[in-house]
Amino acid sequence: MSARADWPERQVKLIVTFPPGSANDAAARIFADALGKKWGKPVVVEDRPGAEGTIGVGSFVASQDDHTLLYTVAGSITVAPLLVDRLPYDVNHDLVPIASTTAIVLTLAVSNQLSVNSIPELIAALRTNPEKYAWASGPTLPRFVFSAFLKQHDLKMNFVSYRDASQPQADLGEGRIQALLTSLTASSSPVQAGKARFLAVVNPSRAATLPDIKTVRELGYPELEIDGLAGIYGGKALSEAVRNRIAADVAAICRDADVRRKLETSGHNVLNGTTEELKQAIEKQRAAVNQLTKVIDIRNPQ
């Protein structure tokens, strides 16, 4: 089958493995809108969050439809198999990487109640007061990485789990927790209110909206680095020619100045939109997660 000029013949569904209102859902909607304009057919977002992304991925795989695409993070491929015993999909055969989209900006923030301005000062404070302080994080990779960091540096903090994603930043601002490793969008309000501060960006590159905040790698703590990379995937029903066309369209959208500004403002670093970038990121994250499993039990990180 060639990259038919008439694809898509109808509405395209984009299944997103995140809840409405989340940063990744916001990015998916920006891409869906731009792709719909390019293709002359609507691209409809369907949010299917839960169970480390496996509910949405399972729904996508079950559809077996050449007009259904998936928007998820690399963790659905790299982390999910280690957390879920019987996945409803085969990560190596059912998900075909099409194009990278964005990396959600992740930050390490501390409450003003903890008078530290750097990671070495944070380590010193935790060493002086073991188990006195509490921390929280975004799910999966941020939690695993910070748990491993504490273990590697022989530090003890109390992990606080939340059901409501908006609660940790409120508690950081009030000093009920002292450290928070999560997305920029889920930690910016206490910083803007002057009740907390960013110590570092956790991504491999600095954030467009926080150009002066150094990365953990720049600061000498590469063990804290996470690339929370998202992308678009197809199923086996989609021909290679159509996948290549979608990738070219996503790459063009990633270069669009207006789209970039929207994505950066909503807490993302914009990627190149290529198949190769997404594949390489998955392999890099697989290796990183493999290293994490040697330091902590990711099914029971603390």
Q: Are 60 and 70 in contact (CB under 8 A)?
A: yes
173-225 per-position pLDDT tens digit: 999 999 999 999 889 999 999 999 999 999 999 999 999 999 999 999 999 99
Give mean pLDDT, residues 247-269: 96
Q: Which two tokens stand for residue 272?
A: 């190149």
264-276 per-position pLDDT tens digit: 999 999 999 999 9
Report how far residue 19's alpha carbon sits from residue 25's, in angstroms, rounded to the nearest whole number. Answer: 7
Residue 57 clears pLDDT 70, i.e. is over it: yes
Q: Are 71 and 28 in contact (CB under 8 A)?
A: yes
Contacts of 54 (CB under 8 A, 6+ apart): 76, 80, 84, 87, 88, 89
Q: Please indicate, yes or no, if residue 187 is contained in any of the structural domains.
A: yes
Give mean pLDDT, residues 44-72: 92
Report how far residue 186's alpha carbon sits from residue 158's, in angstroms, rounded to the nearest whole number. Answer: 20
State residue 277's pLDDT score: 96
Give mean pLDDT, residues 35-58: 93
Q: Please indicate, yes or no, if residue 20 is contained in any of the structural domains.
A: yes
Contacts of 258 (CB under 8 A, 6+ apart): none
Residue 286 clears pLDDT 70, i.e. is over it: yes
- The last residue of one of the domains, among 202, 235, 258, is 202
- The last residue of one of the domains, among 166, 186, 202, is 202
State residue 300's pLDDT score: 87
Three-state SS across 84-101?
CCCCCCCCCCCCEEEEEE
Q: Please indicate, yes or no, if residue 207 is contained in any of the structural domains.
A: no
Please give the C-alpha separations between residue 155 and each of 36, 86, 126, 129, 290, in angstroms, as whole numbers. 49, 34, 6, 9, 22
Q: Clarify whether residues 150 and 96 are in a common domain.
A: no
With bands split at pLDDT 50, 70 and 90, how would you rate the model's confidence at 50? confident
Residue 1 clears pLDDT 50, i.e. is over it: no
Q: For residue 155, give its domain range.
A: 106-202
Residue 5 clears pLDDT 70, i.e. is over it: no
Domain containing residue 177: CATH number: 3.40.190.10
State residue 227's pLDDT score: 86
State residue 37's pLDDT score: 97
Q: Which two tokens stand for residue 34?
A: 């731009």
State residue 4's pLDDT score: 54
Domain containing residue 68: CATH number: 3.40.190.150
Number of domains the chain contains:
2
Q: State the average pLDDT for the chain.
A: 93
Share of the chain above pLDDT 70, in %: 98
Q: Are 204 and 210 in contact (CB under 8 A)?
A: no
With bands split at pLDDT 50, 70 and 90, how would you rate the model's confidence at 72? very high
223-236 per-position pLDDT tens digit: 999 987 999 999 98
Q: Which two tokens stand for residue 133?
A: 């302080």
